[in-house]
A = this chain, B = another copy of it.
Amino acid sequence: MNPVVSLSSLGEFGLIDQIRARFPQPVAPELGIGDDAALLSPSAGSQVVVSTDLLAEGVHFDLGFGPARLLGRKSLAVNLSDIASMGAVPRWFFLSLAIPAGFSLETIEGFLDGLAEQAAEHNCILAGGDTCGSKGGLTVSVTIMGEQRPDLILKRSGAKPGDEVWVSGSLGDSALGLKLLMEGARLGCADDPLLLRQLDPIPRCDLGLKLAEAGLLHAMIDISDGLLADLGHICEQSGCGAEVLLGQLPLTPAFQSYCSKQPVFPWPLALSGGEDYELCFTAPAGNHAAIQQLAKTAGIQVTVIGKVTNSRQVHVILPDGTNFQPSASGYTHF
């Protein structure tokens, strides 16, 4: 750690060395950091799955909300979640950083440490990238590549009317955590479990892979834009609709405790808050028991929250059977 050293004393190649030091490099003849491009050899018969996410300071993250290490973890987690949602195995990633002049080296080191932790936890290899200055804030771009047999890959487009709609884990904690952070809460308080769902989301890689390899599902997506928006993507690309039972949404005790104290229960946090990084998937009802069993082996709770319908819309149904009208559906950037 060099608490008061600025990036300018390190230089571009010094920064690349800092990055290289934290990540195991691919085994020859694959090329990692240090040539014009990375060389990657997918196994015969596999398909390369690629995703990219851009995180911009002041838009996706606020460095005041928590340690840079967690931002590093999250930068890869959001990409891992995309790979999980396809049922693929994460393999390589590429990191691009635009860093403001005078940025603290300690922050960058913390960021890289967290990124390296997350990479090691998922056996995902840093294979290249780019670094440059920024006149605005810190900008992080990660491109991830995974692999899977073409016939096992899960897309958004396979849902069928009658399918059960499932979600992993719980919904709304991340959006509530962001709300609390914006209201001034910081780590080290009773709300830590909620804040950490926002600052350090856990991608459901193991569950996504197991579900895909078991061949039990018709469609899958990760919930980054909010349940209704992302389930909407499945419906749109599958040419169907869905009914979501409000009373079935999996909510943590911490979420319920906070929300039941509000004048109006803030359902939009769970329905459209986003950044849950849970998996939403559809499957024939006949696979219900097998899915429950498989999720148990992965150690992740999964819950049926509704069903796929013939309509072209996503409806949220109240316990009395009437339609709930959510006030917003997903985060929009512009």
Q: Which residues of A contact B (CB under 8 A)?
A: 7-8, 10-12, 15, 29, 31, 34-42, 44, 47-60, 82-83, 85-86, 88, 92, 94, 96-99, 101, 127-137, 139, 141, 143-146, 150, 153, 155-157, 221-222, 237, 332-334
Whether A52 contacts B132 by the Cβ 8 Å rule is no
Alpha-carbon distance A133/B334, docked complex (angstroms): 6
Whether A12 contacts B86 by the Cβ 8 Å rule is no
Instruction: Tell me which residues across on chain B come within 8 A of A34, comparing CB atoms.
Output: 156, 237
Instruction: Tell me which residues across on chain B come within 8 A of A11, comparing CB atoms.
Output: 332, 334
Instruction: Tell me which residues across on chain B come within 8 A of A139, comparing CB atoms.
Output: 54, 56, 98, 134, 136, 139, 141
Q: Knowing A15-B334, A59-B134, say if A50 contacts B36 (CB, 8 Å).
A: no
Whether B150 contacts A41 by the Cβ 8 Å rule is yes
Alpha-carbon distance A37/B156, docked complex (angstroms): 10
Instruction: Tell me which residues across on chain B come within 8 A of A132, comparing CB atoms.
Output: 54-56, 59-60, 333
Closest chain-B Cβ to A29's Cβ sits at a distance in Å of 7
Whether B36 contacts A86 by the Cβ 8 Å rule is yes
Q: Knowing A8-B334, A37-B86, say if A98 contacts B51 (CB, 8 Å).
A: no
Alpha-carbon distance A222/B37, docked complex (angstroms): 11
- Identify the closest chain B residue to A81 (Cβ): B36
Instruction: Tell me which residues across on chain B come within 8 A of A31, comparing CB atoms.
Output: 155
- Identify the closest chain B residue to A98 (Cβ): B56
Whether A52 contacts B333 by the Cβ 8 Å rule is no
Instruction: Tell me which residues across on chain B come within 8 A of A48, comparing CB atoms.
Output: 39-42, 48, 145
Q: Knowing A50-B94, A130-B52, say if A83 contacts B37 (CB, 8 Å).
A: yes
Query: What is the total number of copies of this protein in its complex?
Result: 2
Q: Knowing A42-B42, A85-B36, A155-B31, say if A99 contacts B334 (CB, 8 Å).
A: yes
Whether B8 contacts A51 by the Cβ 8 Å rule is no
Whether B44 contacts A133 by the Cβ 8 Å rule is no
Known: A7-B334, A36-B82, A39-B47. 9 other contacts (CB 8 A): A31-B155, A35-B155, A40-B48, A52-B94, A53-B130, A94-B143, A132-B333, A134-B139, A136-B136
Q: A86 is contacted by which of B35, B98, B237 (Cβ under 8 Å)?
A: B35
Instruction: Tell me which residues across on chain B come within 8 A of A59, comparing CB atoms.
Output: 98, 132-135
- Identify the closest chain B residue to A31 (Cβ): B155
Whether A146 contacts B41 by the Cβ 8 Å rule is no
Alpha-carbon distance A59/B86, docked complex (angstroms): 36
A-B contact pairs, 29 of them (CB 8 A): A8-B334, A35-B155, A36-B82, A37-B83, A37-B144, A38-B50, A39-B48, A39-B153, A40-B47, A40-B49, A42-B42, A44-B44, A50-B92, A50-B94, A50-B127, A50-B145, A52-B94, A52-B130, A52-B143, A53-B96, A53-B130, A56-B133, A59-B132, A59-B134, A59-B135, A94-B143, A131-B333, A133-B333, A135-B137
